Amino acid sequence: MLKKKTKTKEKKTKLGTSKETAREKMIGQHIGYRYDVNLLPDYKKITPFLKKYIEAMGWDDLNWLEDVHMGYEEGRPAVFCRNANGWVTIPKSIKLPNNQQDRDMIARELLVKFQMSPKHPLVDLKKAYLKF
């Protein structure tokens, strides 16, 4: 059975702009993701590089990249690399657009370039520890 929605007046706040929950106030720390992880991609904003990537992989859409968004790290825009388990900082030379959808597409493109680069930290690990 569906639960009835309770009518409570909640202050609408943007993720990461304030301490949203009582627990966060209690521990004095921000809990949760640094961006809206549920934001769906706007396919009108897709870049030519990402189109080529999708075509090369034989997929119909962004596939795993739908979950990639631009966040921030150390006060700078960054994208999280799940393979390296770290934030990849966006170089200062790249001018970022003013809306999240465009920024997300740039984050996706840069993440693919980073992950496929021979300079990726996993390449050295693979050389050192590959068993078969």
Partner 1 sequence: MANLKTTDKKSTSQSMGMHTELLTGRTQQKFFNPSEAENFFYFGTYDVDFNKRTELDVKEMTAPEVNKEIDNLMSKGFGTIVIKNPQGKHSLGVGILNKLNLIFEGSLGYFGMGSCDGPTVRINGRVGWSCAENLMAGKVVIEKNAGSCFGAAIRGGDLICKGSVGARTGIDMKGGTIIVGGDAGAFTGFMMQRGRIIILGDVGINLGDSMYDGTIFIGGKIGSFGSDAVPADLTVSDQDWLKRKLKVAEIGEKFDVSKMTKIVSGKKLWNYDNLEPAEKKGAI
Write out the binding residues for partner 1, residues 44-63 only, by CB under 8 A: 49, 52-53, 56-61, 63
Question: 15: how many CB neighbours lie within 10 A of its CB?
Answer: 14
Ranges within 76-115 binding partner 1 (CB under 8 A): 76-78, 81-82, 84-89, 91-94, 96, 98, 103, 110, 112-115
Quote the least distance from Cβ 11 to partner 1, whole Å.
Answer: 14
Q: Which two tokens stand for residue 24?
A: 């966060």
Rounded to whole angstroms, what are the CA distances from 8 to 11, 67, 104, 121, 130? 10, 30, 32, 48, 55
- Nearer Cβ to partner 1, position 11 or 93? 93
φ/ψ (deg, to 5) at 73:
-150, 135
If one asks whether residue 18 binds partner 1 (CB under 8 A), the answer comes out as: yes
Q: Out of 9, 11, 12, 75, which residue is the one contacting partner 1 (CB under 8 A)?
A: 75
Q: Which is nearer to partner 1, 12 or 26 (CB)?
A: 26
> Residue 79 in 3-state DSSP?
strand
Site for partner 1 (CB under 8 A): how many residues?
Answer: 75
Q: Are 71 and 79 in contact (CB under 8 A)?
A: yes
